[in-house]
Structure 1
Amino acid sequence: MILETLTVRQENAVLFAGIAAPPMNLLGPDLVRDLVSLIQETEADDTVQVLVFTSTDPDY
């Protein structure tokens, strides 16, 4: 899955999605598009039980 504003990694049944939408991780069209894609992919994946959102910006 290619996402411009999210970095994704999976550890066992946990999927971590780091929000990388500079400058302040504000919700905009690109982030909304990536979030919808991520949620759709995650819902279809039986191996994922938990979805954790983080920020790639240490100040947020």
Structure 2
Amino acid sequence: MLRRSEVQNRVSLSKATLYSRISVGPFPKPVTLGSSVRRMEPAPHPLPRKARLSE
């Protein structure tokens, strides 16, 4: 499980874009573990090129 900052570094998205993608689609919602929040590791395949270019 990853921290938000680790997810951002792996997928090269801003915090706002990451949360937007969580609310509408391809990213899973964060999981609360006690007082900390973690994200499931992204799928091993990258987003389609079209999705990455729409930023």
| TM-score interval (norm. to shorter) | under 0.3
TM-score by length of 2: 0.28
